[in-house]
Structure 1
Amino acid sequence: MSETEFLDLAQSTLDQIESKMDQLNDEDLLDVECKRSGNVLEIEFIDNGSKIIINSQAPMQEMWVAAKSGGFHYKRVDGQWINTRDGSELFAALSALASAQGGVAVTL
């Protein structure tokens, strides 16, 4: 994948995550605030102040996630972002992380 293709895909992925988090907030299912700065998306859980930070790493063509439970790297494999260590998928992992940090079941 070219760098341009990666950047477009990473932007689209961050847009999807931000949109879903905003939707969950608007529906009063999860109290979060999203802040975006370039290739970095910060999701703050208002009730406890914890955060999940997601950013793209163009040189490595990875999406990186930092959460209370640790840091994770995802590479594009067969049309999905897959964890380089345990093989989990990004959106499934983010659902679990957001559920744990937000205190309610979240599905992205």
Structure 2
Amino acid sequence: MTDLEYLNHAEALLRRVEQACDRINDESDADVDNQRVGGMITLTFANRSQIVINLQKPLQEVWMAARAGGYHYRFDGQRWLDTKSQGEFFADLKRHASEQAGMPLDFSS
């Protein structure tokens, strides 16, 4: 994958996270603050815990740091998969965000 292809896919992932946060806040009692600075999004929950998602351009990865740990994802042509467990990014984000928010959150589009 070229650097430009990586950036296009990674930026689409970040936009999807931002849009999902907006939808979650509109459709539920969840209070998920999302702030983006460049290639990094910080999600802050009502209990002040955070999930940080950031681009790792030299490695062509997306990293997620949650209370449960740190995860590295690579694009396989269709999905972003964890380099160790092969977990899918949005399924993992849903699980970690739901745990940290104390309520079910859905990040699917």
TM range (shorter): over 0.9
Please say if 1:68 is aligned against 2:46: no
2:56 and 2:86 map into 1 onto residues whose CA distance is: 18
Instruction: Name the aligned partner's letter for residue 101 of structure 1.
Output: Q
Query: The residue matched to 1:86 in structure 2 has which SS?
Result: coil
Correspondence list, 1:1-108, <5 A: 1-45=1-45, 47-108=46-107
Q: Post-superposition, which runs of at least 4 consecutive aligned residues in structure 1 deviate over 3 A?
A: none
Instruction: Name the aligned partner's letter for residue 75 of structure 1.
Output: R
Q: Which runs of 5+ in 1 are unaligned?
A: none
Is the deviation greater in 8-17 or in 21-30?
21-30
Report the RMSD for the aligned CA atoms in angstroms: 0.9
Q: Percent same amino acid among aligned pairs?
A: 38
Report the TM-score when normalising by structure 2: 0.94
Name the structure, 1 or 2, with higher relative contact order (CA <8 Å, separation 6+).
Answer: 2
2:26 and 2:68 map into 1 onto residues whose CA distance is: 26
Report the TM-score when normalising by structure 1: 0.95
Once the two structures are superposed, residues 1-34 of structure 1 have per-residue CA deviations (whole angstroms, 9 ceiling, x without a partner) of: 1101111111110000111011101223411111
Query: The residue matched to 1:85 in structure 2 has which SS?
Result: coil
Once the two structures are superposed, residues 23-72 of structure 1 have per-residue CA deviations (whole angstroms, 9 ceiling, x without a partner) of: 10122341111100000001000x21000000111110100000111100
